Amino acid sequence: MQLSSTGHDGSTTVDGLIQNDSFYGSMGSSNDLATHTTLPSDSSPFREKYEIDEDGELLGEGTHCVVRECKCKVTLQNHAVKIFRSEDEEMFIHAEREFKILEKLKGNPNIVQGIEYIPEFLRSRGYLVLEKIEGQHILHLIENGPVSEEQAKTMIKQVISAVDYMHENGVVHRDLNPTNVFLVDQKTLQIKILDFNVSKLVENQRSRRNSLDEEESKSYQSSPSKNGKYKYSLFTKTGTPIYSAPEMHQAYRYTEAVDMWGIGTILYTLLMGEPPFYESSIPVLMKKVQSADYDRSSPQWQNLSLLGQEFIMGLLEVDPLIRFTTKEALAHPWFIQ
């Protein structure tokens, strides 16, 4: 199985990259990009270490990059590689930032592994080599209906443990949703979290606060992270709207609590067979998200254990100060009932 997935809206993603020809705009067709602008020449540093199957099917594509399978000439292992091409220096900064995040999280069995990042500035290209994942995203599991409570429990505990590891290492994912969680083992239900391209590595909150201007400083003083429950304070609005926490669209700042909301949407989707919030109108969607207006009257919800219902409600809590942390979630009796 390739490192690809089909989104709830019908688009396809590979570690956060949308497979959609129109995504390229004036850059030309995906075939032009794949065959003429992204394959490294024999003189490239990347080519010295890796081989690419130039005739193989793309694993994914985005605005300025494609994803292909590659093989390390030394280890003979197969990997996935994001091949970026852009004249914009920001692209290199973004790719390097993503690799630094993956380096920070290296070794966790439930997080995709970053192998290395090779920039080629003179050729306006960058190569982000990743672990090649075999499996499918967990949305495929509900094609024939919701999964069982025990199955969901096995998978979501891994997600929470991985997110706990992220938060302990200063990483906030910011886009946790079912298309970014891959099932890599059907028997054990092992999962891996992908797509760190909008994630944030929070280096040092104290030095960050020292650099804030007066307006930002006032905002920080009222930040939810100041109560001690959460450690980090962020302000960039990002993520996938139907899975994003209400404070992501409201407050000037938010915390790593947004990841817990994302976990709640994943769990609800697995157990109910559909996302908790889904509207074609963004204003209507935002209104429902901001009031946690999701269906709790369906037969699937009524058949859920009381502890399971309580657990979901603790994750999909509008107030981030009340919402479960990773530690609180892992200690919940739902996991030991």
- For the cut 80, the answer to whether the pLDDT of residue 160 exceeds it is yes
pLDDT of 31? 41
Please report the domains of the chain, with CATH numbers, ordered by start residue.
5-131 (3.30.200.20), 137-336 (1.10.510.10)
- For the cut 70, the answer to whether the pLDDT of residue 280 exceeds it is yes
Task: Share the mean pLDDT of the chain.
Answer: 81
Name the residue with higher pLDDT: 223 or 151. Answer: 151
pLDDT of 44? 84
- Predicted confidence band of residue 235 (pLDDT cuts 50, 70, 90): low
Rounded CA-CA distance 167/205 in Å is: 13
Q: What is the mean pLDDT of residues 75-91?
A: 88
Q: What percent of the chain has pLDDT over 70?
A: 77
- Predicted confidence band of residue 66 (pLDDT cuts 50, 70, 90): confident
- For the ranges 20-34, 46-60, 102-116, 319-333, which has the lowest average pLDDT? 20-34
- For the ranges 103-112, 189-198, 246-255, 285-294, which has the lowest average pLDDT? 246-255
Rounded CA-CA distance 58/63 in Å is: 14
- Predicted confidence band of residue 227 (pLDDT cuts 50, 70, 90): low
Across 73-87, 103-117, 235-249, 274-288, the highest mean pLDDT is recorded for: 103-117
- Predicted confidence band of residue 109 (pLDDT cuts 50, 70, 90): very high
pLDDT of 163? 98
Q: What is the mean pLDDT of residues 308-323?
A: 97
SS3 per residue for 248-306: HCCCCCECCHHHHHHHHHHHHHHHHCCCCCCCCCHHHHHHHHHCCCCCCCCHHHHHCCH
pLDDT of 21? 28
- For the cut 90, the answer to whether the pLDDT of residue 267 exceeds it is yes
Instruction: State how far the alpha carbon of 27 is from the alpha carbons of 22, 68, 169, 175, 281, in Å.
Output: 10, 19, 37, 27, 30
Spatial contact of 103 and 201, defined as CB atoms under 8 Å apart: no
Give the residue numbers marked as catalytic: 175
- Residues pairing with 78 in the sheet: 71
- Predicted confidence band of residue 202 (pLDDT cuts 50, 70, 90): confident
